[in-house]
Structure 1
Amino acid sequence: MLQLVYISSANPAAPCPTRDILTISRRNNARDRISGLLYADSGRFLQALEGPEDAVELAYARIQRDARHRAIVLLSRRIVDRREFGHWEMAHRAPGVDAVEFLADVQRLTADAAPAVRGTFEGLVRTRVSA
């Protein structure tokens, strides 16, 4: 099973409400047997995708063509023996949600991920919620 982790900047010229991303991604990922975690805020996307190698590669290719993303950087590409995320979720800090509470949610969602993947998500969240 393949796991990819990438980060990108949100393209302000092609905004898309978080709810729309969630709806479309859940449908596509269920269809393609992809799981992982997507962190999204108004400026950044950080996503781990895992599943059948061909499906993950096709999903990543779609993301690379998606006008909502710019400056996409592949952070890791590795073969995993088992799903580290179990199911697909999206971490999104809604207005009014406490930063400590949000970080705890991300820590829960990344608990079974490899230390480097977990650290990537937690590090970005700590940076973004304190900004």
Structure 2
Amino acid sequence: MPDGLITSISYISTARSDLAHSDFHNILESANVRNEELDLTGLLAFNGLNFMQTLEGSRDNLNSCMRLIESDKRHDGMVIFSRRETSQREFPHWRMAGVLLVSDSREQETTIEQLLSSKWVTPETKQHFESFKSFGSQAQ
């Protein structure tokens, strides 16, 4: 990988059936600590049934983190649907931003819109999260 390039990975997975909202907040807290150590950034969304995450950083650190995420028993069925190299982080201001999309709440709608409004977020990433949000409103 040439100097200065960032690896970005996006995936979706299925949450364990008894995962609580408090578990999601615990995941965000631990991700922020780990991502600080590994110089990773990203966005994690949870709709009550599934996770969707875009995670970005150096290839080696990102691969190490992905191995940890894959082994986490709070979810399974991980499918990586995007892996790319880029010169700019999409989420440079957060170690791990997160949004809980479990109802048609206007507050949640505003939060995801704000998170995706950064000038660095690509149209492709916006579309992925918009699509995820649309079926997340069905989860209760």
Q: Which runs of 5+ in 2 are unaligned?
A: 1-5
Structure 1 residue runs of 4 or more that deviate by more than 4 Å after TM superposition: 13-16
2:7 is equivalent to residue 12 of structure 1: no
- With the length of structure 2 as denominator, give the TM-score of the two structures: 0.82
Letter of the aligned partner of 2:130 in structure 1?
A: E
2:32 is equivalent to residue 26 of structure 1: yes
In structure 2, what is the Cα distance between the partners aligned to 1:69 and 1:98?
Answer: 24
Measured against aligned partners, the alpha-carbon deviations of 1:19-76 in whole angstroms (never above 9, x if no partner) come to 2111111110111100010002321110000011111111111111111111110010
Q: Which runs of 5+ in 1 are unaligned?
A: none
Give the SS at the match of 1:17.
Answer: helix
How many pairs were matched up? Answer: 129
In structure 2, what is the Cα distance between the partners aligned to 1:102 and 1:13?
Answer: 22
- With the length of structure 1 as denominator, give the TM-score of the two structures: 0.87
Letter of the aligned partner of 2:82 in structure 1?
A: S
Give the SS at the match of 2:78.
Answer: strand
Cα distance change on mapping 1:124 and 1:59 into 2, 3 Å: same
Letter of the aligned partner of 2:37 in structure 1?
A: R
Deviation at 1:14, TM superposition (A): 6.7
Identity %: 26
In structure 1, what is the Cα distance between the partners aligned to 2:23 and 2:16?
Answer: 12
2:45 is equivalent to residue 39 of structure 1: yes
Residues 51-70 of structure 1 aligned to structure 2 (within 5 Å): 51-70=57-76
In structure 2, what is the Cα distance between the partners aligned to 1:57 and 1:122?
Answer: 26
